[in-house]
Amino acid sequence: MPSLTDPISISTITFERSRNGVVGTSEPRISWRFEGDAQDWYQASYDIRFKRTSGVEEYHHDTSKSIFVPWSSGPLRSGEVVEVSVRSVGPDGSRTPWTSARVEAALLNQSDWKADMISVDCKPHTNLAKPSRPFILRRHFDLPSISKPARLYATAFGMYDIKINGQVVGDQVLKPGWTSYDHRLYYQAFDVSSYLHVGSNIIEGHVAEGWYSGRLGFLGGKRNLYGENTGLQAQLMVGDEVVLRTDSSWTATRSPISYSGVYDGEKVDFRLAEDKLKELSVIVLDRPKAKFILDMAPIKRMQEISSKEIITTSSGKVIIDFGQNLVGWVRINTVPARVLPGDEIVLSHAEVLEHGELGTRPLRVAECQDTLVCGSDNSAFRGWEPTFTFHGFRYVQVDGWGGDVKLADFTAVVVYTDMERTGWFKSSHPLINKLHENVIWGMRGNFVGLPTDCPQRDERLGWSGDLTVFRDTANFLYDTSSILSGWLEDVAVEQEENSHIPPLVVPNILSRIYPQSPLRLAIWGDVAVLASLSLFEAFGDANVLAQQYDSMFNWLTQGIVRDENGLWRDKPEDTQLGDWLDPAAPPDFPGDGRTDPKLVADAYLVHVTRTMAEISRLLNKEEDALRFESEWKTLRQHYLDNYVSKTGRTVSDSQTALALSLQFDLLSDKQREVAIDRLETLVKKNVFKVATGFAGTPIILGVLAANDRLHLAYRMLQEKQCPSWLYTVSMGATTMWERWDSMRPDGTINPGEMTSFNHYALGSVASFLHNTIGGISPLEPGWKKFKVAPRPGGTVTSAEVKHLSPYGLIECSWHLKDEMLTVAVSVPPNSRAKVEIGDLDLQIGSGRREFVVKYKSDPRWPPKPIYNSMTIPLVDEIA
C-alpha cells in the first residue's frame, strides 16, 4: 500500500495548452499536475465535475491518465464559461481534495466574427529607409447597462494596441504576433468588464505596420510582403450580444508616433497634441482569408532590469549598461532636464561594446533606435516606452538628454512569449552555471512569438534549423507546447505551397523576397519530423504527431531530392549547409567546415527515416512504419558504403562525422570501436576545444559520455580557450553567441558579415547538463517514466536539476565526497523512475528517496592533449 502520510493533491488544472483557461476549441482536453511526497502513489481513477448553466454533471473514469484527458461533457459554445473540478483516486481508494478551474470558450467559429477589417485611406508606404506611420481608429459608444461579462476579441494586419476609456487593454504586447498571415491569423480575447462604464465610452485602436507590412529580411529586405494596408478587426461582446464592432462608422487620425518598425525602432513626437493630428478616412478591407486562431502563447512584459552602470566613452558618448543582453525595450522613468521643443532624444541599442564604443556593426542595416521629439510639456516622458518595436541589447547609448544621465532614469523591459518555466540546473562549477543561465536568456530572447535565430539585426526570422538542434533543450527549460505547436502548423501550411519542403524560415518571407526554387536542406527541413517528436516526448500530446503527420510524411516522400540510392542528390545545383558554423569555417563562409555537407545531410536522412517509422507506429500506421523501417535499413547500408570504411573511419575525418555516425547508430559494433577511438584522438588533438557546428554541437558531449569517454566530455565542457562554451562565459557573455568567436579575445567583433551575440543554437549543450550531469531524461512521453542517472566527472562535485513535468516536479541532486555519491530524488505522483546510480538499477514510484553509493573518480581525469611534434603546442586551459 502506498504511504499517504504526505497527502497527494492536484495543484493545477489546465485546458489544452492554455495558461489562462481561455480556449479555441469546443471540447478542450484537460490536464492536471500533482503535488505531495507520498511514496508509490499513482492515480487509479478520477472523478470529474462540470458546472454549467444547464446544471452539474459528474463522471467517473477508471484510468491513470491525467494529461490531455478527453472532454466528458457536451461541446462548449462560443463565449461559454464552465467550472471544471477534478479529484483523483489512489490505488487504495483514497481521494485527493477536489480542485477546480474555469474554462472559457473564445470565438469557436469563423461565422462568430461580425466585425470588419478596417484601415485608413492613404497611399501605400514603400520607402525602405523608414517605417510607416501608425494610425489610430476610434469609436464612441453608449452602454445602457453592463449586467453580463464583457469580452473584446481583436486581431490586426500589422500590430495593434487598444485602449478603452484611456486604459490599455490587456497585458499582451506586439499583438497579434507573427504567423503565416495568409493561412493563420492569431486573435486575442480580453476580459474588459472592468474597463467599461454605464453610459458613454470610447475605444481606440492603435495600428502599426509590424511584421505584416514592415521591412523584413536581410540584404535590405522588402516591405509589404503580406499586403499594403494594415488594419484592425475587433468586436466587443456583452454576454452573447455584439455591442460594438469595427466597421465604416469608426473615425481615424494619424498617430503621434512618427514611425515604428520592427528593425528600425520607434519615433514619437510630443509636439503633436491630439487635436492637431490629421484626420483620415476609414475604409473597409476585404475579410481575411486566413483562419482565425486564438493566441494561447502571447508575448508579454516578463521582467524588468535596472540600469547597472553609466559609461562615458572615449568619444564622449553616454552609454547605459543593463548588465544583461536581453530582448525588449527601455522605459524612461523621469522627465529630461534642459530640453527645448524640437530637441531629439535618441536611444541607440546594441548587444556589445567594441573597444569601449557601441558595437552596432552586427546590426547591419537595422537602426535599432528609439527617438523622442520634445514638446513644450514633456511630462509624457515619464513612463514612456515604445509600443510597436523591440530590440536585442545590453547597452543603450543616450544622445540629447540635456543633462546628466542617472541610473534611475531608465529601466529595461524584458519581453518574450509567456511560457511556464519548467527546467532548472545548478552545480558546484560557477562557470557552468553561468553557461546554463546564458542558454536560458538566449532562449527567452529568441522566443518572441516564434522561435527565431536572433532578436537584434535585420533578420529575426524563424529559422527552422536553429530549432531542430535546440528543440530538446527548449522543451526542458520551458513549456513550449503552445508556441511550437502553433509554429509547426505554420510549417505545415507553408510547406504545402513550397513543393512539400519545409521552409528555411517560418513564416516563409524568403520566398516572397527571393522568388526561386525552394532550397531543400537537411536539418532545416527535418524540423518537421524532429520538432514534432520532441514535443510529443516532452509533453505527451500525441495530437501533435497526428496534426503534423502529413507534413512529416510529405517531406520524406516528396520534399527530398534523392539520388539513385535514395540518399540526398549531390549535383552542382544542390546545396546543403552541413555543419553550419564549424569554428574552422571562414568568417564569411560559415558552411565551409571540416565535414562533407552531404555526409551530414545523409546521416540526418537515415536518422529521420528511422524516426518516421517510430512515429508511424505510434499512430498505428503500420503500413507506413514497415515502409520507413525498410527504407531506413537500405539507407543505412548506403551510408556505410559511401562514408565509412570497413574499419570505421569516416571519409570526413572530423568530430561531427564521427559523432553523427555514432549517435544515429549508423555503424557496426566493430566500426563503433574504431570510430570512438578516432573521435577521442581528434578531441585530444584539438586540445579539447570545440570543433563542431550546428550538426555536431548538440550531440558531441553526449556521444563521448555514452561511449565510455565521459572524462573527455567534461574536459571539453570545461575548456576556456576559444572556441569553447566557457570561452564565451569568460568573455563576459550573458547569452549564447552565434559564433564561437563572435567577440575576439582582443575585444574586436568577429569580422564576418553575420555575427550575433544572442543565438540559442549552440546552447543545445544544456541538454548534456540536464540529462548527464544533472542526470534526468524522459523514458516515456510526457515524463510519465524517466531515468535518473547522474554521472559526476571533471571538477564538478555536486549538481542539482529540476524539471516541472506534466505530472509534477522532478528533482535530482547529488554531491560527491570521499568517493561516496549521495543522490536525492523526488518523483512526482502518478509517475515513476528508473534509477541507475553506480551498481544500483531499480524502478521506483513517487516520493522522495536518497541513495548513497560508492563512486570512484575516473583515473583518466584530467585527460592529456595530443600535440603534433611539428607544431607549437596549443594552450590547454581547464576551468
Catalytically active residues are 459, 738
Alpha carbon 140 to its chain's center: 40
How far apart CA 598 and CA 561 sit, in angstroms, is: 12
How far apart CA 108 and CA 291 sit, in angstroms, is: 11
Residue that is written with C-alpha cell 528517496 in the block: 849
Q: Please give the single-letter amino acid code of residue 784.
A: K
Q: What are 642-651's contacts with CB under 8 Å, separation 24+?
A: 642/567, 642/599, 642/602, 643/596, 643/599, 643/602, 643/603, 644/671, 644/675, 646/671, 647/671, 647/674, 648/672, 648/673, 648/674, 648/675, 648/678, 649/674, 649/675, 649/678, 650/599, 650/675, 651/596, 651/599
CB 847 within 8 A of CB 39: yes
How far apart CA 85 and CA 102 sit, in angstroms, is: 9
> What pairing do the DSSP bridges indicate for beta strands 22-23 and 99-105?
parallel
H or E segment and range at residue 597: helix 597-618
For the chain, the farthest-separated pair of C-alpha atoms sits apart, in whole angstroms, at: 90
Whole-angstrom CA distances from 583 to 534, 678, 728, 765 are: 27, 20, 13, 16
Bridge partners of 280? Answer: 252
The 10 Å Cβ neighbour count of residue 758 is 32
How far apart CA 150 and CA 133 sit, in angstroms, is: 31
Backbone angles phi, psi at 58, to 5 degrees: -135, 140
The 10 Å Cβ neighbour count of residue 93 is 8
And the C-alpha cell for 525? 527541413
How far apart CA 121 and CA 777 sit, in angstroms, is: 57
CB 177 within 8 A of CB 158: no
- According to DSSP, residue 447 is labeled B
Q: Which of 737, 693, 703 minimizes the C-alpha distance to 595? A: 693
Residues in contact with 825: Cβ distance below 8 Å, sequence separation at least 6, in sequence order? 788, 811, 812, 833, 835, 844, 848, 849, 850, 851
CB 156 within 8 A of CB 233: yes
